[in-house]
Structure 1
Amino acid sequence: MAGCQKFITSLPNRCLLCHQQLCSAATGICHTCLQSCLYTSPVCLGCGRELQTLQRYCGACLALQPIPVIAPASYHSLLGPLIPKIKYQAQFTALPPLVLALERRLAMLVAHNLTVLPQALLPVPLHPHRLRERGFNQAWMIASMLGQKLQLPVVDNLLRRVVATVPQTGLDGRARRRNLRDAFMLTADLPYQRIALVDDVVTTGTTVDEIARTLAPWTPDLQVWCLARAEAPGM
């Protein structure tokens, strides 16, 4: 993480979206661009549907009780093209403002009793081959920053990715599920009942569902934290 911070501070201090010069205290995204991307109204933690009042789920999700996904913004905002650059181009300057936005979103939901903080953070793991190729796991970086801010442990040695899956981009729902089937395993019994799974983005939720299936015998209370989410199809 120290190496990441050094990289962040060594880059020209301009907004990645509008390219305007940032003040010395800001990094990655200017306040105006960031605010234009964040949710401005309540959204369902299940499907991402816009709600009229601040509540946990919309009517349909209230019946289904899906895994709640907490994010400060939609993936279909201007952040959509930016977030993959963290993963594929090591554009780390976007991380501090996005993690801060996620932290503030969490604080708001906790204050309104719409979620509770977990006992531990579990970053979505990369397969060892992919980790060596990329050199970093962006999910671990996000979890590490949040863990420091919220004083929560980051557990990165219990969940392993044991199948070197092909990238999910471009696959349909059935192919995504087949691609990730049995891709994860636990190395030991999970000693926590409340877990927040941390990733950079949630799109179809296939990865979340497969990890939830892996954790199911041990974790009755699972939520997902990410920098942005794609709403359910048709939203």
Structure 2
Amino acid sequence: MKIAKLTRLKHYGEKNLQRGVVCVKQWLAASLPNRCLMCHQSVIPPGSGICFTCLHSGLYQQPVCLGCGRSLQFQSRYCGACLSSEPLLVISPCSYHQGLGPWVGLIKYRAQFAGLDALSTALIMRINKLEMAGLIERPQVLVPVPLHEKRLKARGFNQAWIIADVLSKRLNIPIETHGLVRSLDTQSQAGLTGKQRRKNLKNAFHLHDDFPYQRIALIDDVVTTGTTAKEIASLFERRHIHVQVWCLARAEAPGLLD
């Protein structure tokens, strides 16, 4: 009963907050300067936030493993080290450490959406390329990583939902927000060790019994250690639901892109 009540409250509260965020995004789109956030040169189309040159320079310049993020000689699903375990697939257009990371961080921490359009476009191009190569399969629904009700009220928006909304409209894939619930108000993962992160998220999420899909894409802004994504994915995988993660940037382990 508590979970059901929490879900209803979360649904109505998040719906109202997200309507407000959509209005803010529309206002921002209309008022953005026609200058690149990074180099300050004119951008085409106006309001896209980041010019093509700066965007391209911050994207992956080589194939990477979809499991760990390691550089590859040619694009495949996994590197040799990941083949045996087949870890969770993470689809991202860039490394958080190579130029575009700060603009991804501003979405979450400063509610600055100026770079969202360009970053989302880069992610969509990456998804389409991997799909055409037969390395990933398009999901039935997009599932944004949920925030706890208290965190949602404090922040005013869920950046994962905002990203999912952009992707949903451009890829024509529906968003599903009712099946997955964040039932515990955990502390921020920033600054925690891997062990502390896993302990912090233990039993933090709940998946409803009547979730009807077999393939989902879990949406988030950044994947760092992958603790949150793995914790959520385990709930789906226990029911034999295929999970891949779509994010704007990936903070892979040091040395993997060398």
Q: TM-score when scaled to structure 2?
A: 0.87
Query: How many residues are matched?
Result: 235
Partners in 1 of 2:100 and 2:27 — Cα distance? 23
Cα distance in 1 for partners of 2:254, 2:212 equals 35
- 1:150 aligns to what? 171
Deviation string 1:186-235 (CA, Å, 9 cap, x unpaired) is 23421111110000010000001110122223243110000010123542
- The answer for the alignment partner of 2:156 in structure 1 is 135
Residue 211 of structure 2 aligns to a residue in which SS? coil
Q: 1:170 aligns with which of 185, 191, 194?
A: 191
CA distance 1:220–1:23, change in 2 (3 Å): closer
5+ unaligned residues in a row in structure 1: which ranges? none
Could you list the structure 1 runs, at least 4 aligned residues long, displaced by more than 6 angstroms after superposition: none
SS of the aligned residue for 2:115 comes to helix
SS in 1 for 2:154: helix
Residue 25 (structure 1) shift:
3.1
> Where does structure 2 lack aligned partners over 5 or more consecutive residues?
1-21
Deviations 1:138-193 (A, max 9, x none): 10011111111111110011111111111111111011111111110123421111
Q: Which residue does 2:234 correspond to in 1? A: 213
Aligned to 2:64: 43
Preserved contact between residue 201 and residue 229 of structure 1 (Cα < 8 Å): yes
Contact 2:236 2:242 in 1 (8 A): no
Once the two structures are TM-superposed, the CA of residue 21 in structure 1 deviates from its matched residue by 3.4
Which letter maps to 2:145? Answer: V
Q: How does 1:113-128 map to 2 (within 5 A)?
A: 113-128=134-149
Label 1:234 to 1:181 Cα distance change in 2 as closer, same or farther (>3 A). Answer: farther
Corresponding residue for residue 75 of structure 2: 54
SS of alignment partner, residue 135 of structure 2: coil
TM-score between the two structures when normalised by the length of structure 1: 0.95
Alpha-carbon distance in 2 for matches of 1:59, 1:143: 31
Q: Secondary structure at the match of 1:227?
A: strand
- After superposition, where does 1:170-189 map in structure 2 within 5 Å? 170-189=191-210
Aligned partners of 1:134, 1:146: CA distance in 2, in Å? 22
CA distance in 2: counterparts of 1:36 and 1:88, whole angstroms: 24
Secondary structure in structure 2 of the residue aligned to 1:130: helix
2:95 to 67, 70, 74: 74
Any conservation in 1 of the 2:30–2:47 contact (CA below 8 Å)?
no
* Separation of aligned partners in 2, 1:20 and 1:171: 38
Over the aligned positions, Cα root-mean-square deviation in angstroms equals 1.4
In 2, Cα distance between equivalents of 1:56 and 1:110: 11
Measured after TM superposition, the shift of residue 20 of structure 1 is 2.8
Amino acid at match of 2:105: P
Match of 2:218 among 185, 193, 197: 197
User: Does the 8 Å contact 2:237/2:243 carry over to 1?
Assistant: no
In the TM superposition, residue 53 of structure 1 has moved relative to its aligned partner by: 1.0
| Cα deviation, residue 2, structure 1 | 4.2
The answer to whether the Cα contact below 8 Å between 2:65 and 2:77 also exists between their aligned partners in 1 is yes
Q: Which moved more, 1:210-219 or 1:220-229?
A: 210-219
Q: CA deviation at 1:51?
A: 0.4
Q: Output the CA distance in 2 between the equivalents of 1:7 and 1:212.
A: 34
